[in-house]
Amino acid sequence: MRLRHLAALALVVIVVAGCGEAVATPTSGRTVVPIGPTAWPSGTTGQYGLRIDPSLLGKLPAHAGALPIVEDAGSESTVLGDANLANTMDRYVAASAGGVSDPDWLKVSLGHFKTESQNTDVYSAWVDQYAGGACSQAGGVAGASQQTIGDFLVDVSTCNGAVTVYTLPLGDWYVLSMYEFGPKDIGRQLIAALY
């Protein structure tokens, strides 16, 4: 019995001594906590040749409504491995205003079609594909129309889950696509602020 008490006391001493200023030595090159992606200030190129180009954000106003537009490196990381997108576009940037837990939020995609993709059929396919993807988590596409917003003819789709999707050409085969949620229609406000 006395031996058990001594063993328990020794264990307590070892544990308390371990709480000092010891430096842990990592056993592998990986961290236990996943680290999220960070934005690439000068851009980056994915395995299929799609270039993430943050300078494209210069084509947009700095805010959507009162919310700042911020590059979305998480979405960009996802598309870097998308061979289909790389077949259609050569440059791309993703951004957002607000978050999905906010009463108003916006997700933005801005890309440039490759020379061989610069035709109305590819553009129309992009409009439908983007709306379908954006609405896939919001009950599917409920309707589609073309509307004039500011100086732009915009393809507008509505999702069953109260999300609105916008796609419009910005000239020189740049295309802006985005989807929004919330009563302030911040995507519409962003389009109206384009020049």
Q: What is the pLDDT along the chain (195 residues), one digit of tens a residue?
A: 433 333 333 333 333 334 443 333 444 444 444 444 456 677 889 899 999 999 999 999 999 989 999 999 999 999 999 999 999 999 999 999 999 899 999 999 999 999 999 999 999 999 999 999 999 989 999 999 999 999 999 999 999 999 999 999 999 999 999 999 999 999 999 999 997
13 burial type by CB count under 10 A (0-12 exposed, 13-18 middle, 19+ buried):
exposed
3-state helix, strand, coil in the chain (%, to 5): 35, 30, 35
pLDDT at residue 10, as a whole number: 38
In the chain, the percentage of residues whose pLDDT exceeds 70 is: 79
Question: What are the residue boundaries of the structural domains of the chain, listed by start?
Answer: 44-193
pLDDT at residue 131, as a whole number: 97
62 burial type by CB count under 10 A (0-12 exposed, 13-18 middle, 19+ buried):
exposed
pLDDT at residue 3, as a whole number: 37
